[in-house]
Amino acid sequence: MVLTAPPPARERSGSLQFASTLYFRSVLEFLLDAVPQRWHAEVRLGLQEALVNAARHGNNLDPTKKITAEYYVQGDKYTWVISDQGDGIGEYFEGDCAIPSPLSEQGRGLFILHQIFDRVVWRGHSVYLEKYITPQKHPFIL
């Protein structure tokens, strides 16, 4: 019998603040740094939607306002927090009861967030996105 040590705990975090524009390429690369490559396309889409919401709806595309993007990795749990300087949407909101149809003109981004992430929580002017990612498995790869 050969015993192998368990892999080291994966814990990482990072934070970035930037002007409220729709140019997110380097921000997305930063936020995807710890994500296994096979998950990049899916998670990128969700993070891009959250960033667009922060810039467009939170900060009204005002380049003098800032967006803060943070990420945390603890084992297979990945968490991103996207914050803007807007008025916010209230004290706390979690769940999918207010998610519009993907066919509606408005709210498509919220629908996408809830399809990609395991947990979406709105708190004031921040959205918390959680996803459990097992590096060996991906829902679209057999």
CATH assignment of the domain containing 25: 3.30.565.10
Question: Is the pLDDT reported for residue 8 higher than 60?
Answer: no
Number of domains in the chain: 1
Specify if 1 maps to a domain. no
| pLDDT per position as a tens digit, 18-75 | 999 888 899 999 999 889 999 999 999 999 999 999 999 899 999 999 999 999 999 9
Specify if 4 maps to a domain. no
The model's pTM? 0.80
Higher pLDDT: 129 or 111? It is: 129
pLDDT band at 12 (very low <50, low <70, confident <90, very high): confident
Mean pLDDT of the 116-139 span: 84
Nearest residue to 130 via CA among 89, 83, 90, 77 = 77
Ramachandran sector of residue 104 (left: φ over 0; alpha: ψ -120 to 50; beta: rest): beta
Structural domain including 25 reads: 11-132
Specify if 139 maps to a domain. no
Question: How much is the pLDDT for 47?
Answer: 97
Question: How much is the pLDDT for 130?
Answer: 96
Which strand ranges, in their side-by-side order, compose the sheet holding 93-94? 11-19, 66-74, 77-83, 126-132, 119-123, 93-94
Mean pLDDT of the 73-92 span: 85
Task: Report the distance separating Cα 127 and Cα 121, nearest Å.
Answer: 6
Question: How much is the pLDDT for 109?
Answer: 80
Task: Report the distance separating Cα 71 and Cα 69, nearest Å.
Answer: 7
Question: How much is the pLDDT for 134?
Answer: 77
